[in-house]
Amino acid sequence: MPAEDMGKLTYRMRLTFAVATVVCVLVLAISPVKDFRAEWKKYKRSFVRYAQGRPDTKKLLADYSPKIDQVWLPGMNVVDRCTTCHQGMTQPSLADASVPQPFRAHPPIPHNVREWGCTVCHRGQGPATEIAEAHETTLAWEQPILPAHYLQASCGSCHHQDMNETPQLTRGRELLSRLNCQACHKLNDLEPPMLGPELSSVGNKISREWIYKWLKEPRTILDKDGNVTVNGYESGDESRMPKFRLKDEEIVALSAFLSAQKAKPIEDYKLNPAVVAAWSKKPDLLPQAELRFRQMMCTTCHPLAVTRAGETKLIGGNIGPELTKVGSKVNEQWLVSWLRNPQGYLAHNNMPRYGWTDEDLYKVSQYLLKQLTDSDLLTTVPKLEAGTDEQIKNGRRLFLEKGCASCHSIAGVTPQKEFGPDLTALGAKNASELEFGKAKITHNLLSYIQAKLQDPVSVNPASRMPQYTWNSADLDAVTTALLSQTGPKPTSALQHLTVSKVEASYKPVGDFAEVYERYKCYACHRFNGYGGTLAPDLSYEGSRAQKKWIADFLKNPQTIRPTLILRMPQFNMTDKEVNTIAEYLALAVQKPDVNPESVDSRQFTPAMASLGKQLYEVKYQCQSCHTIGGTGGYVGPNLNNAGNWLTPAWTEAWLRNPQALQPDTIEPRRNFTEDEIRALTAYLMTLKAGIKPQTSTSAANARPVGQGAGR
Amino acid sequence: MKSKLFLALPILLAVFSLCACKKAAQIVQPVQAFGAYDTEPDWNDGTKLVNLGYQESQGKRIFYQYCVWCHADASPAGPSNRSNLTPVPPLLNDGDKLNGESDEFMQNIITLGGSALGKSAMMPPYGKTLSSNEIKEVISFTRAIAQPPYQKPGRQGSQYTTK
């Protein structure tokens, strides 16, 4: 370049500068343009347009601002910008499903969005301003939004007490507890584990062949053609024993070990030979035996498989084990001694001690052993002799290694502590903390939990967890319950808001305690929040029922609700026991503000009773739910014997407000005046059609169908 | 040569900054479960499932506790009480009968009972047992499972979408 041209701009250079300037301006413009076109700004603008197209524009745009909107709750560690796009969140007029997302209003829930934020329940990244970052897993944020189907998990991470509003979570917690997950895993707020049967003397009860068969197919006992005769799961009365992936030689060793367990000899009880001799010759022994089995209402707790119209179903309660093939399982001497005294074999066992006579014992045990059998059950099992010492030794090792000892105790065998991983904070885990192995699933917590539950070895080939069978609703319920196990709350504010679980316990005293324990009242009935749910809650029975009625009922239990077929078993109680229970319930098991003495039935006049009858039949039409004398509805209990059954004080209190006495009762609270309550009570107290003594045939012919049990 | 570099730099910059804009990934839809709390099989055709929102699923829960005894053909205890009653109560999914009734009417008859509205006294009042919110939830469940499907009266929702 010549010297005089130095410092002058050539055309070429001008062009270069011009292009560079334009590019520079363009580059600088990228940021403002990107900002202008930000996703959240688009939603801001389209909300304005949407609101303008509606009649309530003014109301919808009252607090509109074009800026980012956020809920900031320092105490809870919440910075949620979700309302930037979800702008109709608190607008009741946008609740309808026709409103396009993200503008739809939040459904009305007990918590206010402004006080709680969004991510506390929905998860996702609160401060994010882009759709993907807010809702999904990113490298910097591993907690994606929780699909609405599992949202109840978030309720459960603060509400440790079960709630009506979260059926899926409650079912999940119930399953975790029923399936005894706590035996191997550490979990929060579950009922204490109900362990599998103690096996210290199992060799006295069942044969080695049966144990072999059971270990091979614990949930579904297959017959020799490979047909599932009783699939416990389908009926909802699942066996709690899952399937362990055991090899044949492992099963041989385990069965050898278990059949050698004979710690406690069988109680030596001889049935009266005269009774046995008399009955064993009768041609109708088995029909008579079946009749007795049905009269005792064993099916209230124990289900039986029944085939009707080609469909096999379990029918009966789900408290005790299924008995369809029990005759091929247990030995006779064991069965008789068990029926006499179940606690003699298993100390912690909920089966009541019935007052059987020798005749009953013989008949029922013959029915179980002769009628409830399957001759083909054990045909596929190889011939097994008594186990060798080596097999027993291996079996003992496997019993510990496979985790059998976590659920089943055997005297002298100490289970390994913390057999499975701690799951108390599983619901808060990030995907990077989980091991997915070779499983071809989405790498997030939700699909990990579901894969692990459905097939434990799919994510970890070395997994010791056994195989469970789930239907999809139960799988989702358990997933929800596991997702709710989010460990301790990280922030102080939430810690104070946590609703903790209330532990219920009920310990009666005195003579009653002994009877309560003998007949295991708590297996079906609930007392002050503790006990079973099959039969009515008896927390206030002393306020409700008249003492004489309680005594009569215990002698001869009958269903009070017309649709119920299951009912309380006949315990053959002695007069002394009956009196002990009646006295105790009538005096000690009362609602404090319903004193049975407070209303004197002598004040009721026939005029009041006839007014009450009018009210019952015409004004309030109570017969739509209650039966009197064979006509009326199926919903409530029958009132044929209300005058002998209920105390007047309870009846009045109940008519005033049923939910105050029993919170979950479906009988609605009515607008009765005090005079109407008096009159209705007077009428009910005139109903005294006593229960006829039980005729044996009617009970035996009753269909053993239905849910719940009568009292 | 140098000038080309000048050009290349800002262009590269522009390319890089454009690369930073990323695509939104697909959000995985949860699989709907049969028998779940947030779905209800169509009562006339068991193979079809109706998806329920929050309010409707709460309504389902309340329905199966309080109403199922008389407003369905089967109840959890087996037989339905419906056949015992005259007049026979409508099935909850009976759109021909219930779609014509306004939400206000439904709210009133559940709250005050049949006799207060000149209908059968066999329908008891639930106003003191359920909260008005719970009654709304039951109504929204009724609307969700109605056959023929329920149409909201009046002005139809705007056809406007965000896309």
Instruction: Write out the CATH class of domain A202-371.
Output: mainly alpha
Residue among B6, B16, B52, B160 with most chain A CBs within 10 A, to mutate: B160
Size of interface A-B (CB pairs under 8 A): 164
| Percent of chain A with pLDDT strictly greater than 70 | 90
Question: B residues 107-146 near A, CB within 8 Å?
Answer: 115, 120-122, 124-126, 128-129, 133
- The reply to whether B39 touches chain A by the CB within 8 Å rule is no
Cβ atoms A396, A185 nearer than 8 A: no
Give A5 to chain B, closest Cα distance, Å: 18
Residues A74-110 have pLDDT tens digits of 888 889 999 999 988 888 888 887 888 889 888 888 8
Q: A213: left (phi > 0), else alpha (psi -120 to 50), else beta? A: alpha
- Share the mean pLDDT of chain A: 84
Report the residue count for chain A: 711
Helix axis angle for B2-19 and A11-36, nearest 10°, is 10
More confidently predicted of A312 and A280:
A280
Contacts of B51 in chain A (CB under 8 A): none
Query: What is the secondary structure of B138-161 as a DSSP string?
Result: HHHHHHHH-BSPP--SSSPPP---
How far is it, in rounded angstroms, from Cα A407 to Cα A401? Answer: 13
Contacts of B120 in chain A (CB under 8 A): 621
User: pLDDT at position A696, please?
Assistant: 39
User: pLDDT at position A706, please?
Assistant: 36
- For domain B39-145, give the fold: Cytochrome Bc1 Complex; Chain D, domain 2 (1.10.760)
Give A486 to chain B, closest Cα distance, Å: 21
How far is it, in rounded angstroms, from Cα A261 to Cα A245? Answer: 23
Whether residue B148 is preceded by a cis peptide bond, meaning omega within 30 degrees of 0, is yes
Q: Which chain B residue shows the shortest CA-CA distance from A96?
A: B157
Beta strands A304-308 and A78-80 are unpaired
Q: Find the angle CA(A125)-CA(A128)-CA(A129) to the nearest 5 degrees.
A: 145
Considering only CB atoms, A131 lies closest to which of B24, B53, B78, namely B24
More confidently predicted of B46 and A422:
A422
User: pLDDT at position A578, please?
Assistant: 93
| Confidence grade of residue A489 (pLDDT, cut at 50, 70, 90) | low
Considering only CB atoms, A706 lies closest to which of B17, B70, B78, namely B78
How far is it, in rounded angstroms, from Cα A140 to Cα A3? Answer: 58
Residues A537-564 have pLDDT tens digits of 898 999 999 999 999 999 888 888 777 7
Exposure of A55 by Cβ count < 10 A (0-12 exposed, 13-18 middle, 19+ buried)? exposed
Q: Domain residues of chain B, as ranges?
A: 39-145
User: First vs last Cα of chain B: how many Å apart?
Assistant: 47
What does residue B78 show for φ and ψ, rounded to 5 degrees? 110, -105
Cβ atoms A598, A590 nearer than 8 A: no
Cβ atoms A34, A130 nearer than 8 A: no
Residues forming beta bridges with residue A562, ordered by sequence position: none
User: pLDDT at position A442, please?
Assistant: 85
Residues forming beta bridges with residue B51, ordered by sequence position: B39
Residue among B80, B84, B123 with most chain A CBs within 10 A, to mutate: B84
- Cα–chain center distance at A208: 33
How far is it, in rounded angstroms, from Cα B92 to Cα A454? Answer: 36
At residue A656, does pLDDT exceed 90?
yes
| Percent of chain A with pLDDT strictly greater than 90 | 25
Residue ranges in chain B whose pLDDT is less than 70: 1-35, 77, 154-163
- Cα–chain center distance at A385: 42
At residue A353, does pLDDT exceed 70?
yes
Give B27 to chain A, closest Cα distance, Å: 7
Cβ atoms B60, B52 nearer than 8 A: yes
Contacts of B53 in chain A (CB under 8 A): 97, 107
A157-193+419-497 matches A510-701 in fold: no
Q: Domain residues of chain A, as ranges?
A: 39-105, 157-193+419-497, 202-371, 510-701
Sign of the alpha-carbon torsion through B130, B80, A302, A230: negative
Place of tokens 């997030």: A444
How far is it, in rounded angstroms, from Cα A73 to Cα A78? Answer: 5
Give A50 to chain B, closest Cα distance, Å: 7
Give A352 to chain B, closest Cα distance, Å: 26
How far is it, in rounded angstroms, from Cα A349 to Cα A346? Answer: 6
Considering only CB atoms, A20 lies closest to which of B6, B30, B124, namely B6
| Residue contact B81–A633, C-beta within 8 A | yes
Task: Please tell me the pTM assigned to this model.
Answer: 0.82
How far is it, in rounded angstroms, from Cα A203 to Cα A257? Answer: 9
| Residue contact B125–A670, C-beta within 8 A | yes
CATH superfamily of A157-193+419-497: Cupredoxins -  blue copper proteins (2.60.40.420)
- The reply to whether B46 touches chain A by the CB within 8 Å rule is no
Considering only CB atoms, A668 lies closest to which of B32, B54, B124, namely B124
User: pLDDT at position B71, please?
Assistant: 92
User: pLDDT at position A507, please?
Assistant: 84
- For domain A510-701, give the fold: Cytochrome Bc1 Complex; Chain D, domain 2 (1.10.760)
- The reply to whether B150 touches chain A by the CB within 8 Å rule is no
Give A426 to chain B, closest Cα distance, Å: 20
- The reply to whether B19 touches chain A by the CB within 8 Å rule is no
The rounded radius of gyration (Å) of the Cα atoms in chain B is 26
Contacts of A41 in chain B (CB under 8 A): none
The candidate with the shortest Cα–Cα distance to A543, out of A623, A425, A440, A661, is A661
Residues A121-178 have pLDDT tens digits of 999 999 988 888 888 887 778 888 999 899 999 999 888 888 888 999 998 998 888 8
More confidently predicted of A596 and A233:
A596
Contacts of A473 in chain B (CB under 8 A): 33-36
- The reply to whether B158 touches chain A by the CB within 8 Å rule is yes
Two tokens, residue A652: 């009045």
Contacts of B76 in chain A (CB under 8 A): 707-708
| Residue contact A107–B54, C-beta within 8 A | yes
| Confidence grade of residue A490 (pLDDT, cut at 50, 70, 90) | low
Give A360 to chain B, closest Cα distance, Å: 31
| Residue contact B77–A20, C-beta within 8 A | no
User: pLDDT at position A501, please?
Assistant: 72
Query: What is the secondary structure of A554-584 as a DSSP string?
Result: HHS----STT----PPP----HHHHHHHHHH
| Residue contact A635–B30, C-beta within 8 A | no
Residues A186-224 have pLDDT tens digits of 888 776 665 778 888 899 998 898 889 888 877 655 444
Cβ atoms A694, A701 nearer than 8 A: no
How far is it, in rounded angstroms, from Cα A80 to Cα B121? Answer: 50
How much is the ipTM here?
A: 0.81
Place of tokens 């049935």: A271
- The reply to whether B162 touches chain A by the CB within 8 Å rule is yes
